[in-house]
Amino acid sequence: MSEFFEMYIKKTFLHLALMSFRMLLLPFSFIYGLAVFFRNMFFDLGIFTEKRFEFPLISIGNLTTGGTGKTPHVEYIIRLLISQKSVATLSRGYGRRTSGFNYVFEDSKAEMVGDEPLQLKNKFKNITVAVCESRMLGIEKIIQENPLTDVILLDDAFQHRSVKAGFSVLLLEYSKIFSTDFLLPAGNLREPISSKKRADIIVISKCPQIISDEERKRIVLKVLPETKQKLFFSSLVYAAEVKSVYDVDKLNLTPSLNVLLVTGIADARDLKAYVQEKSSLVKHMEFSDHHAYTLTDIKTMVEIFSTIATENKIILTTEKDAMRLKETDALRNIPLYFQPVEIKIHVKDEAIFNNQILEYVGKN
């Protein structure tokens, strides 16, 4: 009991310290907010120009610094289109050490192209995956060099207003729509909530798999979508089997399985709760989003794993982190697995959501 109380005191102290630090950053958030306001105003007035392409472009983005589930939603749209269309994806390639335009191949290194683009290429081998800081340059290169491409998905491009996507999907996280947040750097917002008006559709992500009609109405009243906007709800669904990073082996999480969880994502709370429910979670090594794992990190993982006094144990990570961790030889003799995850559009919304995407691509 005393250990629990001590942990509670520490967490409370750290939370208060973080809140105090963020309050000190509020003046900088005000300055940042002014810059965002004038930038958006200049685009709205046509002082800054938006490049429009006579080509299907679907943007998937959010208003925060991460954690809304963009990549699983990109994968959902790929699955929706891939049997009928030639699909390409374009992103910045966050965390890569290269610059400029680069294609992503199955054997590319995460440090050279980014972990999420590499994840997409390994999962969907027949699509074109590219990275480029300039969305305009990237789109032009894909269209010129891949003339059979039917549609380009712009990953995390909501703030890139120099390019006007023909169809914009904005993600808002369920657990945060009723909480107050600040603009960067005091908070996690890249733009004020009012910027949601630019989206064609809004998806409330990471929802419980069952939401009552009353709860849906409450969310609609909170979000207040524009008349032209449709509001949809999606949930994260974890696969029953985890997959080996190095081979084709799969296994189920069971209460007797001891797990060392390693994550480098924006928000690991849902995954941690799922692993705790399905298995025996020994420890969670939590790193920042897109973390570049060092030899010290790997050594610490191996040391912690070796102290688990049973043979029935694995290291479990996310599919995105697996793209980086698989590049080290130090873990090849350790059972390293990743947890697949997909999103499911709620039953009431699925057909309408799918039709809106298909109709946009079909008409263009």
Amino acid identity for residue 123 in this structure: K
Rounded distance between C-alpha atoms, residue 222 and residue 202, angstroms = 13
Cβ proximity of 226 and 197 under 8 Å: yes
Fold: same for 51-236+344-363 and 241-339: yes
pLDDT digits (tens, 9 = 90+) for 69-101: 999 999 999 999 999 999 999 999 998 999 999
pTM listed for this prediction: 0.93
Of all residues in the chain, the percent with pLDDT exceeding 70 is: 94
Q: Domains of the chain: which residue ranges?
A: 2-45, 51-236+344-363, 241-339
Q: Check whether 332 has a pLDDT greater than 60.
A: yes
For residue 171, which of 195, 203, 196 has the smallest C-alpha distance? 203
For residue 341, give the H/E element and its range: strand 341-345
Return the pLDDT at 181: 87
Task: Give residues with Cβ within 8 angstroms of 78, minimum separation 6.
Answer: 87, 89, 120, 124, 127, 153
Identity of the residue numbered 287 = F
* Region of 267 on the Ramachandran plot (φ > 0 left; ψ -120 to 50 alpha; else beta): beta
Residue 25 confidence (pLDDT) above 90: no
> Which residue's entry shows tokens 């010129």?
144
Residue 274 has a CB neighbour count (10 Å cut-off) of 16
CA distance linking residue 164 with residue 182, whole number of Å: 26
pLDDT at residue 224 tops 70: yes
Residue 20 binned pLDDT confidence (cut-offs 50, 70, 90): low
What's at 346, amino acid-wise? H
User: Three-class SS of residue 114?
Assistant: coil
As to burial, measured by CB atoms within 10 angstroms (0-12 exposed, 13-18 middle, 19+ buried), residue 4 is exposed
Residue pair 357/167 in contact (Cβ under 8 Å)? The answer is yes
What the block records as the tokens of 195 is 């910027």
Q: What is the mean pLDDT of residues 2-18?
A: 51
**241-339: which CATH architecture?**
3-Layer(aba) Sandwich (3.40)
**pLDDT band (50, 70, 90) for residue 4:** very low
pLDDT band at 210 (very low <50, low <70, confident <90, very high): very high
Give yes or no for residue 146 having a pLDDT over 50.
Answer: yes
Residue with tokens 């979670």: 281
Taking all residues of the chain, what is their mean pLDDT, rounded to a whole number?
A: 93
Q: Which CATH class is domain 51-236+344-363?
A: alpha beta
Instruction: For residue 303, give Cα distances in angstroms to 144, 154, 298, 326.
Output: 50, 40, 9, 18
Q: What is the pLDDT of residues 107-120, one digit of tens each?
A: 999 999 999 999 99
The pLDDT of 125-135, averaged and rounded, is 97
User: Where residue 1 falls among pLDDT bands split at 50, 70, 90?
Assistant: very low
**3 pLDDT higher than 80:** no
CA torsion 329-335-336-337 (nearest 10°) is: 150
The predicted structure's pLDDT at residue 179? 81
Instruction: Please provide the size of the chain in residues.
Output: 364
Which DSSP helix (H) or strand (E) runs through 68? none
CA distance 171 to 62: 5
